[in-house]
Structure 1
Amino acid sequence: MFTEIAGLLLCCVPVAGVVLLVVFVRRRRDQRLAGEWQRLLDVHARLAGEAAIALVDHVDQHAEGGAKAVIRWHATDRQQDAWFEGRHPPPGSAWLVRSPGERNPGTFAIHPGDVIDFAPAGAVAAARRQRRRAAEKPRDGR
């Protein structure tokens, strides 16, 4: 009986250790990515209307000179086609670009000089997870 329990412990302890390590690494990564998203929001706030945040939903086409993607404007949640000249943005990334103003309403062209800053793919989702964890945390310190 004792050897069966010992064998079971020898099997389960390493598995539990790996699971805890994965959770720890993911939370650290989420903290870093959420910080990138917050930094982008801070820069956006300092620019006071001179820039807009475009979230890359998916990339339709890659070409030598850039990529065509579907973006969603953070302020309005409106989708729009966009051409990223000289760049290949990953889905899930966020781009702070000079305000669209009165540009072509069909396809928004993002030239290299229009990009002010960006947050890597996963930053927005990581910030959501961080907020959810903070909201689920008990308030009485337990």
Structure 2
Amino acid sequence: MAELLSVVLLLGVAAGFVFIAILLGRYQKRRQESRDELWFRHRQHMTALCASSPGAELASVVQVYQRARRGTKAVIVWQKTGVSQDSWFQNMSPTPGDLLLLRGSSGWGPHNHNPNVFYVMPGQVLSAMSPSAQEAAARHWHRMTSTGTA
């Protein structure tokens, strides 16, 4: 009788652990879906802000090739055209993969003798998304399209 009671008690404890694991898994999934939706909304906001901001364009940072005390040299690719361009971010340090909504101006690059460096000063990055935020937005978009809610 004591052995049977021990087995029943052990099964009850194991079932409790399984139940708690299922609840935690569901909570984490809902939490991730909620965060993904927030990043998706942020991406929509970036697109709307781009459309309503004269002179602003979306660009991805593809390479950072020098970090300095006063800024960062990077290669960006314009989302609209797919054209890459050297850039200088004054007092900023973007990372590869960042999606940025930028204003700025093109000018002479004295260090690389490039006549077409895009200069971005503080305040000219209107919005930004890290690679992980972009992945979250894409996950949400995929969920929406697979369920037919897009």
For structure 2, the residue ranges without an aligned partner over 5 or more in a row are: 1-6, 109-113
Give the Å deviation of 1:110.
1.6
Q: Percent identity?
A: 27
Deviates more, 1:34-43 or 1:102-111: 102-111
Match of 2:62 among 57, 61, 80: 57
Secondary structure, aligned partner of 1:95: strand
Higher normalized contact order (CA 8 Å, seq sep 6+, divided by chain length): 1
Match of 1:19 among 25, 30, 38: 25
Aligned residues: 137
Secondary structure, aligned partner of 1:44: helix
Write the deviation string for residues 10-50 of structure 1: whole angstroms up to 9, x where unpaired. 222222222222212211111111111111110111236x2
Separation in structure 1 between the aligned mates of residue 146 and residue 115 of structure 2, nearest angstrom? 41
Write the deviation string for residues 82-131 of structure 1: whole angstroms up to 9, x where unpaired. 22111112444322223656875664222225x15113314433322221
Residue 34 of structure 1 contacts residue 126 of structure 1 at CA under 8 Å; is this kept in 2? yes
Change in Cα spacing, 1:80 to 1:6, as seen in structure 2 (3 Å) is farther
Report the equivalent of 2:119.
109
Larger Rg: 2
Q: Structure 1-normalised TM-score?
A: 0.75
Give the Å deviation of 1:4.
4.5
**Does residue 135 of structure 2 align to residue 125 of structure 1?**
yes
Secondary structure, aligned partner of 2:102: strand
Give the Å deviation of 1:80.
3.2
Match of 2:35 among 12, 29, 47: 29
What RMSD, in angstroms, separates the aligned Cα atoms of the two structures? Answer: 2.8
Residue 36 of structure 1 contacts residue 119 of structure 1 at CA under 8 Å; is this kept in 2? no
